Structure 1
Amino acid sequence: MVICSADSMASSGSSGGSSKVWIAHGIVLGAAVVAGAYAAFYLRWSGGFRTRVVGIIPARFASSRFEGKPLVQILGKPMIQRTWERSKLATTLDHVVVATDDERIAECCRSFGADVIMTSESCRNGTERCNEALQKLVKKYDVVVNIQGDEPLIEPEIIDGVVKALQGAPDAVFSTAVTSLKPEDGADTNRVKCIVDNHGYAIYFSRGLIPYNKSGKVNPKFPYLLHLGIQSYDSKFLRIYPDLPPTPLQLEEDLEQLKVLENGYKMKVIKVDHDAHGVDTPRTSRRSKP
């Protein structure tokens, strides 16, 4: 934990405001480390074979960038239905449900046969919504797959891939997928970038271009990686996740994956050949239509 004292900050010419910011970040990170240590102990103690798998599609109506996104029509079907239908084709999923806080989405999903779990409006992200839905399911599951509702063309093989990656990595509590980043998307903050180590574990995620070279430009020869929204969790870790306090990098980048990494957990990453069709704004929705 890094905490700069007022004296040391003053001697280096920094302002008192900067000192307070670093102290606050240090306190947050310290609390996260303590919570993470407890969570790691709990996970080791409880064990598990990760055989039972549920796919959860978190969906909310309110969105600052695209209100009502799950219900937008794509070739005659709402986007949430297309995502659900694609998810049902994955062979590793024992069950698929939609988790939402909006009755309009729930009614739509029930109309095409999907199971729906109602969740609270207080969920801060899709992971917390998946956790609440998991607690309300009657059956118990070892692995939870968070399937983004704005990926109507998600390939079932990718869902199976992240599940198998987590099942094959007992030292990881989280798995996700990446694909090649198009050079023209390097500056797009809606396209989250990822870097991994030589063993296939995540090092960092960012809305900015990573790695960033001295020229400050995209290197067309470098294999940049684009993070795909799908991710799977050990269900025991998912129950712990909401209790881990927010971390500095997570807050700065507004990326929930960073809270996992900052707490010292391992995240397995698989690379797939996939042309991402995620819908972030009404503009990209129109662009994605054939």
Structure 2
Amino acid sequence: MDVTILIPARYASTRYPGKPLAELTLPDGSRKSLIEMTWEAAQNVAGAARVAVATDDERIVDAAKGFGAEVVMTDEACRNGTERCADALEKGGIETDLVVNLQGDAPLTPPWFLTALIEAMAADPEAEVATPVLRCDPVTYGHFIEDRKAGRVGGTTAVFDARGRGLYFSKEVIPYIAPGRMPDPIPVFHHVGVYAYRPAALAAYTAWDEGPLERMEGLEQLRFLENGASVACVEVDASGRVFWELNNPEDIPRIEAALKEI
């Protein structure tokens, strides 16, 4: 399969304006922007024929070109990363068998997460979209609970059926587990904000209106579920790494601490 990795990045984030250009301190003391770290992660994915940043902001264009990335300018009207990937295919004249959306807020995403999606889509022609899910370890589950208690919107959780098809995604911690009834292993799955789409699924997505669930949760992948599309949830193994996205400024210390453990 011909695989293109797109990194959608916008400056005007509601919760964290300028997030793609936020700098993190690396273990050696140097500092690097979130978008550059994401681009470097994409370079380590075997089998990707092309990697490009998709944005509508000249500040991100300048930064991306500064570290050697290909950039596709997209429409300001794109409401989320999936719409931006669809627009980048059209604006960039990109022809490919599979588009991987590596969102620029997850520098801890291991390359094997993306490889797992590519392999899953190659093996399952019925899947229109695939996305990774990661069983929560005690540290990650604790971050979820801490954020909710503090009134912060943190990561996203996912529930799926016996075939691994997505049933729902939420910024709440689902399924709910009553006090004293926590099973082992923890039955909560962290949704990793990475997607693999067939181009036809992207084209269909942009033709659908934003649905009520997507609008309320602010989760772009719910548009696929609301319109009956098949979303494969691919369970991945972090192999000892702590995974977390950069959703709020408070996440920076968490990610910097996790980088020291890699």
TM bucket normalised to smaller: 0.7 to 0.9
Q: 2 CA distance for matches of 1:148 and 1:179? A: 16
* Equivalent position to 1:165, from 111, 116, 120: 120
Q: When the two structures are aligned, how many residues end up with a matched partner?
A: 239
Which residue in 2 is equivalent to 1:237?
A: 201
Q: How does 1:26-41 map to 2 (within 5 A)?
A: none
Scaled by the length of structure 1, the TM-score of the pair is 0.78
Q: 1 CA distance for matches of 2:134 and 2:162? A: 16
Once the 2 structures are TM-superposed, how far is the Cα of residue 217 of structure 1 from its aligned partner?
7.7
Which residue in 2 is equivalent to 1:277?
A: 244
| Identity in percent | 38
Scaled by the length of structure 2, the TM-score of the pair is 0.86
Q: 1 CA distance for matches of 2:214 and 2:57? A: 27
Which residue in 1 is equivalent to 2:260?
A: none
Instruction: Say if 1:193 and 1:205, in contact at 8 Å, map to a contact too.
Output: yes
Any unmatched runs of 5+ in structure 2?
A: 258-262
Q: 1 CA distance for matches of 2:220 and 2:35? A: 22
Q: 1 CA distance for matches of 2:194 and 2:181? A: 25
Equivalent position amino acid for 2:5 in 1: G
Any unmatched runs of 5+ in structure 1?
A: 1-50
Instruction: Say if 2:105 and 2:247, in contact at 8 Å, map to a contact too.
Output: yes
* CA distances 1:149-195 after superposition (whole Å, capped 9, x unpaired): 01112211111111111121111110000112233214363221111
Q: 1 CA distance for matches of 2:202 and 2:235? A: 23
Which residue in 2 is equivalent to 1:208?
A: 172
Compared with structure 1, are the counterparts of its residues 108 and 183 closer, same or farther at alpha carbon in structure 2 (3 Å cutoff)?
closer
Q: How does 1:91-130 map to 2 (within 5 A)?
A: 91-130=46-85
Please, what is the CA RMSD of the aligned residues? 1.7
Once the 2 structures are TM-superposed, how far is the Cα of residue 209 of structure 1 from its aligned partner?
2.2
Instruction: Say if 2:154 and 2:248, in contact at 8 Å, map to a contact too.
Output: no
Q: 2 CA distance for matches of 1:268 and 1:91? A: 21
Instruction: Say if 1:87 and 1:154, in contact at 8 Å, map to a contact too.
Output: no
Equivalent position amino acid for 2:100 in 1: V
Which residue in 2 is equivalent to 1:289?
A: 256
Instruction: Say if 1:165 and 1:269, in contact at 8 Å, map to a contact too.
Output: no
* Equivalent position to 2:182, from 196, 219, 231: 219
The 3-state SS of whatever aligns with 1:195 is strand
* Equivalent position to 1:87, from 31, 37, 42: 42
The 3-state SS of whatever aligns with 1:280 is coil
Once the 2 structures are TM-superposed, how far is the Cα of residue 288 of structure 1 from its aligned partner?
2.1
Which residue in 1 is equivalent to 2:230?
A: 266
The 3-state SS of whatever aligns with 2:36 is helix
* CA distances 1:18-56 after superposition (whole Å, capped 9, x unpaired): xxxxxxxxxxxxxxxxxxxxxxxxxxxxxxxxx211000
Which residue in 2 is equivalent to 1:148?
A: 103
* CA distances 1:56-95 after superposition (whole Å, capped 9, x unpaired): 0001111122111111222322111111011011012110
Q: 2 CA distance for matches of 1:210 and 1:152? A: 24
Q: 2 CA distance for matches of 1:271 and 1:124? A: 27
Judging by fraction of residues, say which structure has more helix: 1
Instruction: Say if 1:177 and 1:227, in contact at 8 Å, map to a contact too.
Output: yes
Compared with structure 1, are the counterparts of its residues 217 and 119 closer, same or farther at alpha carbon in structure 2 (3 Å cutoff)?
farther
Compared with structure 1, are the counterparts of its residues 169 and 66 closer, same or farther at alpha carbon in structure 2 (3 Å cutoff)?
same
